[in-house]
Structure 1
Amino acid sequence: MSIEIKTKENIDLKDCIFITGFHSIIGETGYIAVRHLTKTLQAERIGYIETPLFPPITSLENFRLTLPFEIFKNENLVILFPRMLPYRAEQRKFTQKVTQWIIDHKLKEAILIGGLDNQFKTGEEDCRVVPTTTMLKKAQENKLPLLEEGLQVFGPLALMLTALEIENFPALAILSFAQRGRPDPRAAATAIEKINKLHGYNIPTTELIRDAHEIEEEIEKIIKQQEDTVMRREPREDMYI
């Protein structure tokens, strides 16, 4: 069995903006951000990704079974919500498959969300960005601070950036400064606010800031459940994002 992306038939994704983020020890920033986007926008689930090492875990949400890797859509936003990290053995093929799917469906741009350890913060900026070559000009025009040379990006987000760069596709990783080792909803809010500014959206982030403590506790419970069942087989990497 190969990795397969299954979506509703005859769905038009041309010129849509792709967004995703993964679990990470740095604030769980990407996971919290995409989770918030799907819930706040009440996005429609249009598909999912099936892999040979499909994680053996599910739950109920809005009276429906959840899947480990779901694809949602709201207007011109297409959101990949990886509720779990793909197994390490599959991560390269997983990100390559998603990248090819983005290109095949003629999406316009990709935004990847992650966290950057607060210890690397030197000024007033609340994030750093990593653009592909075709996205560099837009990042500079919007005065987004680039990731300093010497710092590295790891994990699935790095693999996706690499695959998108190889395909000459416009993509931008937004790395919000975040707390290491604990969920950081405020960092997720920062990333969404940058997306709002870049594309003229008005996605609310008030809940992430107002209910930060409750969200943090909820995410910690989710992570513990996942680690107790599946993720303990693969120790989490000490990543910058």
Structure 2
Amino acid sequence: MYKLHVIPALKDNYIWLLENNDKQIVIIDPGEASPVISYLKKHHLCPLAILLTHHHIDHTGGVSELKASYPDIEVYGPSEINLQINYLDKLAKISISDFRFDIISVPGHTLGHLAYYCQPYLFCGDSLFSAGCGRIFASNYKLMLSSLNKLKQLPDDTLVCAGHEYTLANLDFAKMMVPDDQAILEYDKFIRKKNITLPSILTQEKQINLFLRCEEKFLQNKFICNNELELFVFFRSQKDIF
């Protein structure tokens, strides 16, 4: 029913477009406007709305220029964003034309971070990455772990559309931590053949993403952690200095 487009932007950002059968699109996290405008014109696409996951400029920087180019476009996101947009913090769902998105609160990277799920696509900004997760600027590891566990409950065929191309660096970290993990080694070998590694599949992430595996007793014992949260804090603190 929907067609997914990805536009590389800035240093390593991804801007996502979701298209319906009428060539209408929703734009997710336009960190800059010019590549989006060029893409829309080239493919004769009509933008209906922008969805923003959080307030960081590399996810919101293109909004003003896109609004200037397409005055009728609606912009939605969390109230932590200091722009004139429609706030979604208190809503569970949003409909835009025939698009239906579940709105998922995923605080951790920022306190107001939202994710959007339009089956099978998950637009998760900087909360969940392939083989990794976002830095915790909100200083609350428990919140971030809870958010990741919430995303982990989505269907196995969920396509993870994250905000950055960090996969290879995340896999390098995972291989350092668990060098004998066959699932991680095999996925690393497979994914290095690709220039764009996203979207990834949630069922795969649950095998190769250490931040989604903190409940595993084997890993807790290996790193001398008493519980899931302790292991998550350990992994995230090690990744921060990796």
Q: Same fold (TM over 0.5)?
A: no
TM-score (norm 2): 0.30
TM-score (norm 1): 0.30
When you count helix as a share of all residues, which structure comes out higher? 1
* Highest RCO, 1 vs 2 (Cα 8 Å, sep ≥ 6): 1
Q: Which has the larger radius of gyration?
A: 2
